[in-house]
């Protein structure tokens, strides 16, 4: 494709090794320059907005990814899976058979093999600082099960000079973990008839078998931990007339209200300071009008 060009079976663009910010300008197709050709800038350059009024938008790109404005929502038209709860897997019907329940739009909302799901359409992204680095939770990573476990943690800050505010899909769920060792577990889904989850619907047997196959230590006690995984939103670019308008961010409850380290005109207010400013402005107006009135009357009196 034009974006995900290939060379020697290597496909450009990666969800795992991303270019969070591209400051190198447009890339001529066919160039041998070793760059990521899948960024917005590679096609559209660093200053895509022409005209005096539009030029202000170009100044936003030192803090915002292009996608932040140009992908106002994702799953536009077809629903996307937003939650997956493994803790409810294994329920069977009255005859001991697999349950599959579909929602009104035809998507699975429960499956004995996998648990509960939720789906949404026209989802507003969650926004995060991102500099291209990601810290992953691995099989041996230990964690506090009382806190939400981030399967991947986007790195970035408003101060590092490398980060941009990115739109993301945050996929939430509950996953199996070892309650003693406090790490994620490997689950046997279909490897053997005696313990595979998708055959016997027994979570404890499936986890024990999966950990044995993987050769990992396992305490024998399985629990479920709340998890989150972030996915960058970079497809589903909307027509330009549907891009975010200024007021969708520049207001107290705007889109970026939960992003740390952000100050924007129209978003941050202090009631006391606002009142003091209004009083000062009013007194200034009274002073100007009073001064003008005095000069006028003195002028009339002098005549």
What residue spans of 31-122 are helical by DSSP H?
A: 40-44, 55-58, 66-70
Among 117-126, 237-246, 267-276, the least confident range: 267-276
What's the chain's Rg over C-alpha atoms? Answer: 28
- Please classify residue 250 by burial: count the beta carbons closer than 10 Å to its beta carbon, then call 0-12 exposed, 13-18 middle and 19+ buried: middle
pLDDT computed for residue 55 by the predictor: 80
Mean pLDDT, the chain, as a whole number? 88
pLDDT computed for residue 97 by the predictor: 95
pLDDT tens per residue, range 36-55? 667 787 787 778 888 777 78
pLDDT computed for residue 37 by the predictor: 66
pLDDT tens per residue, range 99-116? 999 999 999 999 999 999
Give dist(CA 246, CA 251) in Å, integer.
Answer: 9
Residue 113 vs residue 270, higher pLDDT: 113
pLDDT computed for residue 183 by the predictor: 98
pLDDT tens per residue, range 231-248? 999 889 999 999 999 999
Among 12-26, 66-80, 110-124, the least confident range: 12-26
Residue 199 vs residue 6, higher pLDDT: 199
How much is the pTM? Answer: 0.81
Using CA atoms, how far residue 216 sits from 27, 202, 207, 219, 237, in Å, is: 46, 20, 11, 10, 43
Residue 34 has pLDDT above 90, yes or no: no
Among 49-58, 154-163, 254-263, the least confident range: 49-58
pLDDT computed for residue 26 by the predictor: 61
Give dist(CA 117, CA 138) in Å, integer.
Answer: 24
Using alpha carbons, select from 15, 69, 231 the residue that is nearest to residue 4. Answer: 15
Length of the chain in terms of residues written: 303
Q: DSSP 3-state helix, strand, coil percentages of the chain (rounded to 5)?
A: 25, 25, 50
Residue 87: CA count within 13 A, CB half-sphere = 13
CB of 230 closer than 8 Å to CB of 170: yes
Residue 29: CA count within 13 A, CB half-sphere = 9
Domains of the chain: which residue ranges?
Answer: 186-218, 270-303
Rounded (5°) CA angle 280-282-284? 70
- Helix, strand or coil, per DSSP, at residue 280: helix
Structure tokens belonging to residue 251: 């207001």
pLDDT tens per residue, range 44-83? 777 888 877 778 888 888 899 999 999 999 999 999 999 9
């Amino acid at each position: 494709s034009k974006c995900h060009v290939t060379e020697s079976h290597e496909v450009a663009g990666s969800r795992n090794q991303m270019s969070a910010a591209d400051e190198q300008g447009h890339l001529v197709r066919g160039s041998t320059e070793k760059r990521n050709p899948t960024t917005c800038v590679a096609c559209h350059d660093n200053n895509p907005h022409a005209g005096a009024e539009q030029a202000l938008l170009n100044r936003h790109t030192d803090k915002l990814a292009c996608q932040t404005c140009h992908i106002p929502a994702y799953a536009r038209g077809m629903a996307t899976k937003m939650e997956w709860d493994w803790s409810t897997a294994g329920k069977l019907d009255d005859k001991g058979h697999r349950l599959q329940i579909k929602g009104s739009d035809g998507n699975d909302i429960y499956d004995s093999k996998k648990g509960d799901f939720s789906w949404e359409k026209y989802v507003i992204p969650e926004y995060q600082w991102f500099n291209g680095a990601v810290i992953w939770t691995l099989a041996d990573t230990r964690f506090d099960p009382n806190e939400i476990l981030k399967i991947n943690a986007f790195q970035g800050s408003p101060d590092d000079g490398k980060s941009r505010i990115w739109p993301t899909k945050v996929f939430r769920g509950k996953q199996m973990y070892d309650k003693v060792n406090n790490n994620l577990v490997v689950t046997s889904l279909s490897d053997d008839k005696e313990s595979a989850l998708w055959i016997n619907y027994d979570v404890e047997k499936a986890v024990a078998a999966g950990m044995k196959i993987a050769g990992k230590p396992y305490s024998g006690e399985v629990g479920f931990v709340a998890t989150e995984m972030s996915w960058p939103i970079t497809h589903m670019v909307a027509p330009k007339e549907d891009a975010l308008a200024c007021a969708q961010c520049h207001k107290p409850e705007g889109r970026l209200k939960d992003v740390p380290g952000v100050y924007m005109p129209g978003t941050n207010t202090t009631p006391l300071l606002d009142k003091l400013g209004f009083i000062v402005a009013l007194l200034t107006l009274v002073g100007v009008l009073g001064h003008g009135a005095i000069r006028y009357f003195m002028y009339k009196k002098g005549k």
